[in-house]
Chains A and B, each alone.
Chain A
Amino acid sequence: EIVMTQSPATLSVSPGERATLSCRASQSVSSNLAWYQQKPGQAPRLLIYGASTRATGIPARFSGSGSGTEFTLTISSLQSEDFAVYYCQQYNNWVFTFGPGTKVDIK
């Protein structure tokens, strides 16, 4: 079973600043990694798939990188609407696993 971890659990950032979120897999998942954003009371929204490909309609300030076991989601300049919880998710051999999430809040 592949276990996903995310750090930090909470990230406090000022609007306009850069945010860097980390996700680690317990074994290699190649580039089978996605990132989601979830705001309170809403369903998750797909941001990144294939580790680095932005989903349709996702602003360019969101970028993903990494492969194997280490992945990063970067938000280049945080906007007010970006304060939310972010989850990574791996896919391997018909099994999906989510990380525990990183909450990005206002500093």
Chain B
Amino acid sequence: EVQLVQSGAEVKKPGESLKISCKGSGYSFTSYWIGWVRQMPGKGLEWMGIIYPGDSDTRYSPSFQGQVTISADKSISTAYLQWSSLKASDTAMYYCARVVAAAGTRAFDIWGQGTMVTVSS
């Protein structure tokens, strides 16, 4: 079964650092881009960026460039999303999702279960 399994919920204080993970299984992890998507409480979906685990090529949404770092360790089929200094406004559910390339386009076909990040003093 193709799946992405994310790390568990986190509660952090403003200014702290954090790295959450997304482990792929059931497919060739190095052959598909992995994306990260933010969903703030009660709000819609926002694309943050994508990474190609095969060579760590990374593309960021302009809205998130410089705010987060996306990385991957292909040896353990895991992608990461990290913050160096969290803010209360980073409180959200974060999803990783596999990017499928088909019919000349790209979409997110397999999603992780989400990681809830709560930042509060």
A residues apposed to B, CB below 8 Å: 1, 31-34, 36, 38, 43-46, 49-50, 53, 55-56, 87, 89, 91, 94-101
Majority secondary structure, B binding face: strand
For the complex formed, measure the closest distance between the CB of B27 and the CB atoms of chain A, giving whole angstroms.
13
Interface size class of B (residues with CB under 8 A): 20 to 34
Neighbour of B44 across the interface among A91, A95, A101, CB < 8 A: A101
Residues of A within 8 A of B114 (CB): 43
B111: Cβ under 8 A from any A Cβ:
yes
Q: Mark B23-58, 1 if CB is under 8 A from A, else 0.
A: 000000000000101000000111100100000000
For the complex formed, measure the closest distance between the CB of A33 and the CB atoms of chain B, giving whole angstroms.
8
For the complex formed, measure the closest distance between the CB of B103 and the CB atoms of chain A, giving whole angstroms.
3
Q: Mark B82-104, 1 if CB is under 8 A from A, else 0.
A: 00000000000001010010111
Neighbour of B45 across the interface among A31, A32, A46, A98, CB < 8 A: A98
Residues of B within 8 A of A43 (CB): 95, 97, 111-114
Residues of B within 8 A of A97 (CB): 47
Question: Cα distance A87–B47 when bound, in Å?
Answer: 12
